[in-house]
Amino acid sequence: MPLVPMRQILDEAAKGGYGVGAFNVNNMEQIQAIMQAANDTNSPVIIQASRGALKYSKMIYLKKLMEAAAEEFPHIPVAMHLDHGNSLETCKEAIALGFTSVMMDGSLGEDGKTPNSYEQNVAVTLAVVEYAHPLGVTVEGELGCLGGIEDGHGAGLSDAQVQDHLTDPAQAEDFVAKTKLDALAVAIGTSHGAYKSGRKDPVTGEMLPPALAMERIHEIHKRMPNCHMVMHGSSSVPKELVDIINQYGGNMPDTFGIPIEQIQDGIKHGVRKVNVDTDSRLAITGAIRKVFAEKPEKFDPRDYLKPAREAAYEVYVARMKAFGQAGHAGDYKPMTLEDAKALYR
Ligand SMILES: [Zn+2]
């Protein structure tokens, strides 16, 4: 099967009332683990690469690995998505490489750090839509700013600043109408990376999950029932994965991710794409540390990359089941970019 336009995966998810995990990749082991999990749970899936990932893998390697993934599992709909594109040029590059979907993150300037004005965001997102849609390629945009920094991308907003940059539902309606994008990333208080919250219980001093403005998702869904929303920074940062890392010589402070129940509430209200990166990183790191600690005589990379791949697989399977995409791979006939071109015309 060729890679399918992400728009179709999201449209079908809306019909079926489920969400689809969009998992970040840098290497072969992650891609293989995602595809094995998608195969074993019969899930459509979105594989995404950030600019940092493309730089690390020298672009062509990731492209070929994703093509291999689609070839090995022809019955699984897979979209190949650029995460946090920073300019029209970057999006064009990804499309030329064969990506079936791009994110134009116009919430930040080209430096990936400084917040853009609303007008700048509309202009650059619209430019990408006008370039991508005639080619059948899906476009995700972002309104509002997320906390945290990942792969050098992000405004690095503090907890307090994040609350000032949440997505405004009325503005979201205007943004979607003006840009005609396919998917809208919303800022509701999630952050990229493993450290999502500085919130502590004032009495016990225990870490608390970040306070999410779920009501904004509810409101946007009420205003635009057909708008596909995207939750970024949606790793759950399971304590058991952090514990494995720390048990075998790691040094990660206490932290908290996004509880699965909150993601499921989002999915009930129009969230169709759920971005998860950190959880697979944690699983991989823990598995490798465990081998290094328990079998220090080992030096063949396969001895630790195989358990790493298996640990990531378990995370992907759990997320695919929790988001509801499991069981839906065979629901529809996958589109090509050619089909999608006709759709946009
Ligand atoms: Zn993101």
Write out pLDDT tens, residues 120-174: 999 999 999 999 999 999 999 999 988 877 777 787 777 778 888 899 999 999 9
Structure-token pair, residue 242: 């952090």
Cβ-contact 194, 210 below 8 angstroms? no
Cβ-contact 337, 345 below 8 angstroms? no
Structure-token pair, residue 16: 């079926």
pLDDT band at 281 (very low <50, low <70, confident <90, very high): very high
Q: Is 264 part of a structural domain of the chain? A: yes
Catalytic site residues? 83
**Structural domain count, the chain:** 1
Q: Is 285 part of a structural domain of the chain? A: no
Going from the Cα of 75 to the center of ligand 1, the distance in angstroms, rounded, reads: 28
Query: Any idea what the CATH number is for the domain that residue 141 is in?
Result: 3.20.20.70
Beta-carbon neighbours within 5 Å of ion ligand 1: 232
Which residues does residue 37 pair with via DSSP β-bridges, in sequence order? Answer: none
* Segments forming the whole domain that contains residue 165: 6-234+256-277+323-344
Write out pLDDT tens, residues 15-49: 999 999 999 999 999 999 999 999 999 999 999 99
pLDDT band at 248 (very low <50, low <70, confident <90, very high): very high
Cβ-contact 116, 106 below 8 angstroms? yes
Phi then psi dihedrals of residue 132, to 5 deg: -80, -45
Phi then psi dihedrals of residue 43, to 5 deg: -115, 140
Polymer length of the chain? 345
Looking at the chain, the number of H-run helices and the number of E-run strands are 14, 8
CA 9 to chain CA centroid, Å, is: 14
Phi then psi dihedrals of residue 248, to 5 deg: -110, 40
Q: Is 204 part of a structural domain of the chain? A: yes
Q: Is 54 part of a structural domain of the chain? A: yes
Write out pLDDT tens, residues 229-241: 999 999 999 999 9
Going from the Cα of 233 to the center of ligand 1, the distance in angstroms, rounded, reads: 6
Q: Is 102 part of a structural domain of the chain? A: yes
pLDDT band at 1 (very low <50, low <70, confident <90, very high): low
Going from the Cα of 299 to the center of ligand 1, the distance in angstroms, rounded, reads: 35
Q: Could you give the percent of the chain with pLDDT greater than 90? A: 83
Going from the Cα of 291 to the center of ligand 1, the distance in angstroms, rounded, reads: 31
Structure-token pair, residue 88: 């029209």
Going from the Cα of 62 to the center of ligand 1, the distance in angstroms, rounded, reads: 19
